Structure 1
Amino acid sequence: MNIYTRMLICLTVMAILIVPSFAQPTPFAIKGWVFYEGGNPCDDPMVNITNLDTSAKWQAETNASSSHYQIILISGTDLNATEILRFDVTGGTNTSVTNHTISVSEVNDGGIFNFNITLGPTSSDADLNVTGVTVNCGYLFGNESNEISATIKNNGSGNAGAFNVSFSVGGISEQVTVSSLAAGNSTTVSVTDPTIRNAGDSVPITVTADCNGEIVESNETNNVSSITKTVVNNGYKGKRYTGGTNMTTWKSYDLNGNLVYSAGDSYYLSSYSYPDWTTYNVSWTASDLPVSGTVIEARLYTMYTWDKKDVMSNNANLKFNDALQTVDKHYKDEKMYATSYPYGMLVYNVTDDFNATGNYANLTNSYPGGGNVSMRGMLLVAIYEDAGKQRRVIYINEEFDLLYGGSGKCTTPDEATDYAPIGGSIDAPNASCARLITIAPGADGSGSTGEGELIFNGHVWNDEWRDNEVHQIGISDRDVTLYLQSTDNLVGFQSNADWMEASNAFLVVTFGILGDVNQDSEITPADAVMVLEMAVRGEYSEAADVSEDGCVTSLDALMILQAVANNVTL
C-alpha cells in the first residue's frame, strides 16, 4: 500500500469521526387555534410570524375548513430562547398582533403548543396613553406607605390586549398587568409605595403604559407621564405619624386630697359669626370646683380652633382673677397640607391666683381687627391637699392632637388614635377606685350619642365624649377600676370618622376603704365608734362620710355597723 492510499484511508476515517460531532438541527413546532372575540373559530386565518430579534418572517400553514395553524421551524437556526416572536393574525376584517418571548423550557420541549389567538383584543390601531397620575387624597404623606394610581386610556380605534404598566416612584419600580383595554375605554391601576419618607422630600413619579412593548400601537411616543410630589404630613393622624409625641404624663401627685375640674360657663365663640371679637370671658362658681384644704396645683386649659392669623401665639393675653398670666405650655396641631390652620390649647399655671370662692378668666384678642380664631372653651382643673381625704395618686397627661379617622382624609381609626401612656407604677391590687377623666375638644356629641372611642388598657367605650352643647369641650369621666394595671397603663383617644382633638387625660387612683377610719384595711365596729366620736366633735373625714353627704353624723356610724353585720361593702 503506497503512501497516497494510506493518506486517503486516514482522511476517510477522520471524516467519519468528525461529522457526528456537529449538533443536529432541532425542529421547533408552533401551533394553535384562532378564534373570534366571541369564541367562535376563525377558519383559514392568515398567521404571519416575525422574529423581532432577527427580522426573519414566516407564514404558518392553515386550511379553509379549520381554525388551526402550524409551522415547523428550526431551533438554533430560526429562533433561540429569549427571542421575541410577533404574531400578526388576520381573519376577515378582524386582526390581532401578539408578542411572545420564547422560553428555555419551550426550546427544550420542542415548540410552542396550543398557542391560541383571539382576534379583536389587540390591534395596531390601539393607542395607549397615561391620562392621569394621582396619589392618595392628592398628597404623598410622610411616615407611611402611599397609594399611587394612574388612569390609562386607549385613544386608538383598535382594542388592546394584555399589557403592563410600570410605576417608578423615587427610583422604586413596580409593574401592574392590564388584561385588555377596548378602544375608547379607560382603566385605573394602582400600586402601594412602601417607602417611609419624611415631610419635605421631593419624589419623582413616572408611569409608563405598555412598558414592555407587548402592544403594537399607532403611536408609541405618548405612553409616559411624570409628576413630582413633595411629601407632607397628615395631621389628621396621631402625632406619632407626624414626627410628634404621645400625650405624656406632665406631672403626678401622691397625696391625701383630690382633683376637681369644670368648664364653668364656657361657650363656643365662632370667628365666622363674630369676626371682630376681642374678648372672651369665663367664670366659675365655688360649687363648680368644690375644693377643701390647700390647692397645690391649678391649671387653666384654653382650647381654640382655626387660628388663621396665629392669634393665640402672638396676640392673646389672659388675666385670671385680674392677674395677668404667662403661658406655661402651648400645645397645637393642624392638618399640615393644603389650607391648614392650627388647633390648640394654651395652658396657664394659675395656682397662686386660684380662689375657692369663685374664679374669673378674661382672654383678650389683640390682633388688629380682632377675630381670626374661634374659641372652644376653657377648662379649670384644681388639685388640692386635705388630710381628711383619702390617699390618691393623680396623673396629669397633656398634649394636643388633631384627629380624624376616615377614608376622606386618607386615614383609618387606628391611625387616627392618640395614645396617653401613664408614667410610673401603681399599687393596683390595693387601689379601691380608679377614675379616668379625658378631654376631647371638638368631640361635640350630646345626649345619648357621643363622639370618638375611649380606650383604656385594651377596653373600648364607643361614642364616648360629649359637650354641653354650649362649649365644644368633649368630656368623659369613667370608673376604670376593673381595668387598672400596676404598670403600662395606656389611654387611647380614637376617631372613627369623628372630628375631634385629644388634649388631656387625668387618672385619679384612690386607696383606702370607705368606712375604714382607723386604716386597718377592714371595716369593724371600732370604725363606727370613731365615726360617732367624730360626729360629736364636728370633725370630718372622707373615709368616715360613708353616706357621702358632705358631713359626718351618727348616720354614718350606723351605716358602718349595718355593713359589718351584713358583711357588705359600703
Structure 2
Amino acid sequence: MSRKQDRERRHRERNRAWTVLAVALALLCLAGAASAEAPGRLLGASNGTVSGGVHVEAHQPVPWTSQETGATSREFAQAFSLPDGATGSSVAWARLYVSVYAGSADSSWKALATVSFDGDGDGNYEKTLGTETMATADASTDGTVYVVNDHCTRVYSDFLAWYDVTGLIASPAPAARVRTEPVEDASFDGRLKAVALVVAYDDGDGDEVRYWVNDGHAWVNAATAPTTTAFDTVPVPAGFVSATLDTLALSGRDGAYAFNGEPLAGADPVAPVNFFEHGTWDVTPFITPGTGSTLSMEPGTGASSFKAVLAVLAVRSPAPAAPDIAVTSIAPNPGAGDFLFAREPNVIAVTIENRGSGPAQGFTLAVDAGGTVVTEAGGPLEAGENTTVAVVDGSSREGGTNVTVSATADSAGGIDETDESNNTLSTTLTVYNNGYKGKRWTGGEDLATQQRFEGTIDLVYSAGNSAYAGAGWTGKTWTWSATDLPVPDGATVMAARLYQGFTYNKMGADPSWDLAFNGETVAPVAAYSDIKGFGSYSYPYGLYVYDVTGAFDTAGNSMTITPEAGQNYGIYGAYLVVVFADEQNATPKEIWINDGFDMVQSQTGYSVSTEEATAYATFSGINGTGVTSANATAILASAADADKSAFFFNDEQYTGFWPDYLKGPQVGFSTYDVTDALVSGDNEASLQSVDSGTKGDNMYAMNVILVVERGGPAVLAVPPETALPADTDGDGLYDDVNGNGRKDFQDIVLFFNQIAWIEKNEPLEAFDCNGNGRIDFADVVWLFSNL
C-alpha cells in the first residue's frame, strides 16, 4: 500500500468517526437538550492529511449594507475559485457553510432556506443540498446553541447550516445558491451573512498537509473569558515548512485573536465590518512540533460581544523520507556475453534504484523469464543508491526464440513506497546460439566421418607453400612438391582431398571463388561454417572441401584460387590429405577422415567455459583387437596460443596444438599416439580451448584423422572378394577368408577354390591353419573342423 493510499484510508476512517459523533450529538439535542454547551464553542468537524492543501474561501455575496430590510424573499449566488487539481477524486473532504440572519434573537423570527450547488460550474444548480426550515422553539442572547437539525444550529439571531460536498466538485469553479423565504406567518428577515467553502485536496506529490477544521458557534461577551478552540498539532513533525490559520467571524466588530498565546495582527477590532470577518494568518512561528495548539478569541476593543463560526489550521511538511525502489534495467549475462544463450542456464542481472528520500529495507526480487520465476533477496538500499541483483534462469532454450523477462522489486509488497508503479520492468530478449561454444551447445554437428579406408595403406598431408591472405586478396597459386606429399612409386592413390578455409566473411553471402587444381576447375563436395552468432563482429568462418583424386599427380600439384568481385574475407592456407595403397611398403591399417568446422574459444567474457569450448569428432565401430598402434591427427586453423588448448582422445589428455602451428598458412597438423586410449566400439576425440585464467585460444577445428595399424602379415583380398580377410579370434589365423566379418562355410568354399592363389600371394603364417608349413587341403579340413 502506498503512502497516498494509506493516507486516504486513514482520512476516510477519521471522517466516519466525526460523522458518527456529530449525528449522536444532534440526536441528543433533538431529544430535548437545547444545547450541548452554553455558550457554544468551535469543535472539530474534520482533520486529516492531504498532499495538496486546504482551500478556505468565504464570501458575503451581497454586502450587508446593500441587503435591504423588509424583503419578502431573497436569492444569493456565489461562485468559488479553487486551486488547480482540487476537483473530482482529488478532493478528500469538502464542506459548504451558509449563515442566514434570523432578524432577531426572538424565536418567532424564522426562515425557509433552500441551498443548491453547481458542482461542474456550468451555471445549472443541479444539486439541492437542503431545504431548511430555520426555526427553534427557543432563542436567547447568551450564546446558547439551539439545534435545528443534524446540520443546522442557531445562536442569538444567526442560523448556521453546513453541507458535505466532497463528491460534488467536478470543476475548479463551483457555485452555491441560497434562497430564503418566510415560514408561514412568522417574522422574516433572511439576509445572508456568509457563505464559505472549505476543500481539502490531494495533488499527487509527496508533501503532507495536516489540517484541522473546527466549526460551530463560539460566542463570547466582554464579561466572560475568551472562547478557545484546540488543534491537535502533536503529530506535526519537526521540519514542517508552513502553518496557516483561517477564521470566519460574524460579528458587528472583529475580535482579538491569539494563537498559542501570541496575538495575531491584522484584525480590526474597532471598525464595523458588516458582520463578516474572514481572517488569514501565518502562524508558522507559533507551532511547536509534538505540542497541541490553541486559538483564543474575545471581543475587540469597543465591542460588547464576538462570535466566530469557523477556524481552519493547515500545517505543511515536506514529503517524509520514504523509499521508492524502481527497476531500471535488465541485463542478460552481464560481462559474459551480454545476451541470452541457448542450451544453458543464463544469469539475469537486474538493477534496482532507490529514487526516494528514505532508506529501503531488504526486499524480494522476482524475475519471470518466459514463465519460469526465480526470486532473490535484495537491499537494503539508502536513498539514491542502486544495486544489481543477479539470478540464474536454469531453463534451456533453443537459439532464435524470444523470451519475455519481467523483474519486480518488492514483489512481496513489504515496503511502503511513494510510488508503486515503477517496481516492475519488462523486456523481450532473443536467445542466441553462442558460436564460441562447440556445436553440441548450438545444435550443430560434430566433425563427422566422411571417408573410411582399410587395407595395406598409408596417408600423407601438407599445406605446401600456401599462406594466409587477408581481405582484399588477389588470385593465388599454391604448389605441393613430391617431397611435400611423398607417395611411393608403385602406390595407388585412393583419395586426395583438398581443403580451403575462409575467415571473417563480411560479404553477406558465402564465398564464391574459382578454384582450379592442376589446371582443372573443381567444385566443392562439402562446405562447413560457424559464426559467433551474437553482438558485434559476428561474421562467418568456414571450410570448403574438394575431391581432387582424379587430378592428383604424385610428381607434384598446384592449385589456383581466384576471388569473386568485391570479396571481403580472408583465406587460410590450403592443404591436401592423400590416402594411398602400397603393398610393398605399407602395413595393414584403417583410416577415418572426419571433416567439419567448429569455432571455439573459452572465456568468461563470452559466457563460455573450457568444457563448452570443445569440438568433438567421433569414430564408430572400431575393432580394437590386434591393434599395434593408433594415431590421431587434428587439423586446426589459428590454434597458435601456447598452453591455451588441449587434445583428448576418450579420457586421455594430450598437449594442445600450438607446437604444430604453421605461421604461413595459419593452420596446424598435430598428431597424437592414442594407442593406449583406443577402445573397441565408439571413440571420441575432443579439441578444447582452455581458459587458464585469462581466456582460451580462439581456434577453428576442421579435421581429425584416425589411423589404426594392425599387427601380423599384410594380407590381400582373396579373389573375387574385395574385402580383406580377418582374424576373428586373435589367434593369428585369418579364418574370415572372404572378409564378411564372420567365419562360415563360405570361407571354406573360397579357401578350397583359391588354394593355389592363396599359396602364391598370401603370407604363409596367416593361412597355414594346421601348422604343417604349407598351404594345402589339410588347411581346408582344419577350417571345416573349427567352424
The two structures have a TM-score, normalised by structure 2, of 0.48
**Which residue, out of 298, 305, 308, partners 2:506?**
308
Question: Residue 159 of structure 1 aligns to which amino acid in structure 2?
Answer: P
d(CA) in 1 for partners of 2:361 and 2:535?
A: 40
d(CA) in 2 for partners of 1:515 and 1:228?
A: 65
| 1:282-301 equivalent positions in 2, closer than 5 A | 282-292=478-488, 293-301=491-499
2:640 matched residue in structure 1? 444
Question: Residue 415 of structure 1 aligns to which amino acid in structure 2?
Answer: E
1:506 matched to 2:705: yes
On the 8 A contact 1:320/1:360 being kept in 2, the answer is: yes
d(CA) in 2 for partners of 1:439 and 1:474?
A: 6
On the 8 A contact 1:302/1:377 being kept in 2, the answer is: yes
Question: Residue 508 of structure 1 aligns to which amino acid in structure 2?
Answer: V
1:381 matched residue in structure 2? 577
d(CA) in 2 for partners of 1:179 and 1:127?
A: 12
1:456 matched to 2:654: no
**Which residue, out of 671, 676, 681, partners 1:482?**
676
Question: Residue 222 of structure 1 aligns to which amino acid in structure 2?
Answer: N
Displacement of 1:521 after TM fit? 6.6
3-state SS, counterpart of residue 681 of structure 2: coil
**Which residue, out of 385, 394, 401, partners 1:201?**
401
Displacement of 1:387 after TM fit? 0.8
d(CA) in 2 for partners of 1:482 and 1:300?
A: 31
Displacement of 1:357 after TM fit? 0.8
Question: Residue 165 of structure 1 aligns to which amino acid in structure 2?
Answer: L
1:409 matched to 2:606: yes
| 1:69-468 equivalent positions in 2, closer than 5 A | 125-136=322-333, 137-271=337-471, 275=472, 277-292=473-488, 293-309=491-507, 313-339=510-536, 340-366=538-564, 368-369=565-566, 371-388=567-584, 389-426=586-623, 428-445=624-641, 449=642, 451-465=644-658, 466-468=660-662
d(CA) in 1 for partners of 2:344 and 2:563?
A: 38
On the 8 A contact 1:124/1:217 being kept in 2, the answer is: no
On the 8 A contact 1:142/1:233 being kept in 2, the answer is: yes
Cα pair distance change 1:286/1:450, threshold 3 Å:
farther
2:195 matched residue in structure 1? none
Deviation string, structure 1 residues 54-91 (Cα, Å, up to 9, x no partner): x999xxxxxxxxxxxxxxxxxxxxxxxxxxxxxxxx9x
1:97 matched residue in structure 2? none
On the 8 A contact 1:512/1:521 being kept in 2, the answer is: no
Question: Residue 645 of structure 2 aligns to which amino acid in structure 1?
Answer: G
Cα pair distance change 1:337/1:482, threshold 3 Å:
same
d(CA) in 2 for partners of 1:412 and 1:212?
A: 36
Question: Residue 384 of structure 1 aligns to which amino acid in structure 2?
Answer: F
Question: Residue 213 of structure 1 aligns to which amino acid in structure 2?
Answer: G
Displacement of 1:280 after TM fit? 2.4
3-state SS, counterpart of residue 408 of structure 2: strand
Question: Residue 181 of structure 1 aligns to which amino acid in structure 2?
Answer: L
Cα pair distance change 1:486/1:127, threshold 3 Å:
same
Displacement of 1:218 after TM fit? 2.1
Question: Residue 459 of structure 1 aligns to which amino acid in structure 2?
Answer: E
On the 8 A contact 2:456/2:714 being kept in 1, the answer is: no
3-state SS, counterpart of residue 574 of structure 2: strand
On the 8 A contact 1:444/1:450 being kept in 2, the answer is: no
Specify which structure has the bigger relative contact order, considering alpha-carbon pairs within 8 angstroms and separated by 6 or more residues.
Answer: 1
Deviation string, structure 1 residues 83-105 (Cα, Å, up to 9, x no partner): xxxxxxx9x989xxxxxxxxxxx
Deviation string, structure 1 residues 485-506 (Cα, Å, up to 9, x no partner): 1122110011122100111000
Question: Residue 556 of structure 2 aligns to which amino acid in structure 1?
Answer: G
Larger Rg: 1 or 2? 2
Displacement of 1:279 after TM fit? 1.1
d(CA) in 1 for partners of 2:689 and 2:621?
A: 27
On the 8 A contact 2:527/2:542 being kept in 1, the answer is: yes
d(CA) in 2 for partners of 1:406 and 1:492?
A: 18
2:309 matched residue in structure 1? none
On the 8 A contact 2:614/2:688 being kept in 1, the answer is: yes
Question: Residue 421 of structure 1 aligns to which amino acid in structure 2?
Answer: T
Number of residue pairs matched by the alignment: 399
Displacement of 1:473 after TM fit? 0.6
Aligned-pair RMSD on alpha carbons?
2.8
On the 8 A contact 2:462/2:576 being kept in 1, the answer is: yes
Structure 1 stretches of 5 or more lacking a match?
1-48, 58-89, 95-122, 523-542, 544-570
Deviation string, structure 1 residues 226-285 (Cα, Å, up to 9, x no partner): 1111222111111122121111111211110201100111211111xxx2x231222111
1:471 matched to 2:665: yes
Displacement of 1:429 after TM fit? 3.7
2:688 matched residue in structure 1? 494
d(CA) in 2 for partners of 1:474 and 1:430?
A: 31
Displacement of 1:305 after TM fit? 0.6
On the 8 A contact 2:661/2:667 being kept in 1, the answer is: yes
3-state SS, counterpart of residue 408 of structure 1: helix
Deviation string, structure 1 residues 379-431 (Cα, Å, up to 9, x no partner): 100000011211010011111111111111111111111111112222x2411
3-state SS, counterpart of residue 328 of structure 2: strand
Runs of 4+ in 1 over 4 A off after TM superposition: 513-516, 519-522
2:168 matched residue in structure 1? none
d(CA) in 1 for partners of 2:683 and 2:524?
A: 29
Cα pair distance change 1:450/1:220, threshold 3 Å:
closer
Displacement of 1:197 after TM fit? 1.8
Deviation string, structure 1 residues 291-332 (Cα, Å, up to 9, x no partner): 120001000011111111156x35211100111101110011
3-state SS, counterpart of residue 377 of structure 1: coil
d(CA) in 1 for partners of 2:516 and 2:711?
A: 39
On the 8 A contact 2:475/2:562 being kept in 1, the answer is: yes
d(CA) in 2 for partners of 1:386 and 1:515?
A: 10
Deviation string, structure 1 residues 347-371 (Cα, Å, up to 9, x no partner): 00000000111110111101x23x4
d(CA) in 2 for partners of 1:231 and 1:207?
A: 18
On the 8 A contact 2:325/2:409 being kept in 1, the answer is: yes
Displacement of 1:144 after TM fit? 2.1
3-state SS, counterpart of residue 484 of structure 1: coil
Name which of structure 1's ranges 170-179 and 129-138 shifts more when overlaid on structure 2: 170-179
d(CA) in 2 for partners of 1:463 and 1:391?
A: 29
Structure 2 stretches of 5 or more lacking a match?
1-5, 15-234, 240-319, 691-695, 716-726, 734-762, 764-787
On the 8 A contact 2:640/2:657 being kept in 1, the answer is: no
Displacement of 1:451 after TM fit? 4.3
1:112 matched residue in structure 2? none
